[in-house]
Amino acid sequence: MTHREIGYRSSFPHGRPRRLRQSGAIRSLVAEHDLKPADFIVPLFVMEGQDEKREIPSMPDYYNYTLDLLVDEVQELHDLGMRSVVLFAKVPEEKKDNKGTEAVNPDGLMQRAVREIKDAVPEMLVMTDVAMDPYSSYGHDGVVEDGKILNDASVEILTEMAISHAEAGADFVAPSDMMDGRIKAMREALEEEGYHDTGIMSYSAKYASSYYGPFRDALESAPGFGDKKTYQMDPSNVDEAIKEAQIDEQEGADIVMVKPGLPYLDVVRAVSESVNLPVSVYNVSGEYAMIKAAAQKGWLDGEQAMMEALIGFKRAGADLIATYFAKEATKRLLEVK
């Protein structure tokens, strides 16, 4: 949907906009946007071990699961009406290296997680995060050489990762690295290997953001030196986001994403008007943490703030929302009012 000219001319007292706000019934009748459980992509963290779920300290009420428990969680999410998850694997320190070797292990945690989830809940759409940082001894999204992040060498590894996830049964791969040319390389490789139906959701406009902090706590994946500003985008730019999204569309992405969400709603709007693909937005860990923390202090109503943030994404033009609030918001949507 694009902006419309508002041609409202009727003047007071004939025109009283409040008539359309006087009851829940009329408000719901004229609501311009709405949310449903299938709009959400649920980010899930998986860790090695058995029968354990560990709360992430900077993400209250959010957990890292061992795979056995994660499978049950995915079943529950599906029963509630959510239709898509995106997986992130927590990699033990000793398995990390500069080339992210563990990322392409066919029996790695991510690959096992995809297989087991698709086995247990085949109707759930499974997406995988394709990025090297949880596997990198430097905590960067690419191969490091002389303090620099190499582009083309990283794209090669990321492409192998995407193939490995497709082999395991992922429905979509979601590259979150911001290397140049990776969508083209992945699409070509997927086609060559016969994975014609494996989709790509590209983190097209991903900003170098402080709002990823809690996520990096969850995966212990913070960069060991420097920052991510040579590959993730500068928060001051919006034209560049359009460029990135259009490049990814041309290179064969099926869905483009803007990330983070709340401080970048203008970017969501701009991108949604510039590509002919579904646009997703990532309501990232720091945005979740802010609302949760304020709610815990009693400084705002957490549930209302959550719903208001989520509808804000739809209003800005997002078709899909990756959010840690997915389950909570779904429960709220299912309540009969």
Catalytic residue among 96, 228, 259, 292: 259
129 binds ligand PBG (CB under 6 A): yes
Shortest Cβ distance from residue 42 to ligand PBG (Å)? 12
Task: Annotate 74-92 with DSSP letters as a single string.
Answer: HHHHHHHT--EEEEEEPPP
Of 118 and 140, which has the nearer Cβ to ligand PBG?
Answer: 140
162 binds ligand PBG (CB under 6 A): no
Whether residue 206 lies in the annotated active site: yes
Token reading at 290: 């802010």
110 binds ligand PBG (CB under 6 A): no
Token reading at 279: 């646009």
Residue 175 phi, psi (nearest 5): -70, 125
Q: How many residues bind ligand PBG (CB under 6 A)?
A: 10
Residue least distant from ligand PBG (Cβ) = 215
Reduced to 3 states (helix: H, G, I; strand: E, B; else coil), residue 220 is coil
**Interaction with ligand PBG in 267-296: which residues (CB under 6 A)?**
284-285
299 CB contacts (<8 Å, ≥6 apart)? Answer: none
Of 231 and 276, which has the nearer Cβ to ligand PBG?
Answer: 231
Residue 137 phi, psi (nearest 5): -65, -20
Shortest Cβ distance from residue 229 to ligand PBG (Å)? 12
Whether residue 96 lies in the annotated active site: no
8 A C-beta contact, residue 326 and residue 82: yes
264 binds ligand PBG (CB under 6 A): no
Q: Which stretch binds ligand PBG (CB under 6 A): 111-119, 126-134, 188-196, 236-244?
A: 126-134
Token reading at 317: 């033009």
Q: Which stretch binds ligand PBG (CB under 6 A): 93-101, 127-135, 184-192, 301-309?
A: 127-135
Catalytic residue among 90, 118, 206, 314: 206
Segments of the chain assigned E as strands: 40-47, 53-56, 59-66, 84-89, 125-130, 143-145, 148-150, 172-175, 199-206, 255-259, 279-283, 320-323
244 binds ligand PBG (CB under 6 A): no
Angstrom CA distances, 178 to 14, 228, 233, 255, 325, stand at: 53, 10, 8, 15, 25
- Choose, by CB under 6 A, the member of 131, 256, 265, 281 that binds ligand PBG: 131
Of 15 and 224, which has the nearer Cβ to ligand PBG?
Answer: 224
Note the Cα 224 to chain centre separation in Å. Answer: 23
Shortest Cβ distance from residue 175 to ligand PBG (Å)? 9
8 A C-beta contact, residue 195 and residue 172: no
Of 33 and 213, which has the nearer Cβ to ligand PBG?
Answer: 213
Shortest Cβ distance from residue 20 to ligand PBG (Å)? 36
176 binds ligand PBG (CB under 6 A): yes
- H or E stretch covering 290: helix 285-296
Classify residue 9 by its DSSP letter.
-
41 binds ligand PBG (CB under 6 A): no
**Interaction with ligand PBG in 188-217: which residues (CB under 6 A)?**
212, 215-216
> β-strands 53-56, 59-66: how paired?
antiparallel
Q: How far apart are the first and last CA of the chain?
A: 28
> Which residues here bind ligand PBG, judged by CB under 6 A?
129, 131, 133, 141, 176, 212, 215-216, 284-285
Q: Point out the residues that are catalytic.
A: 206, 259
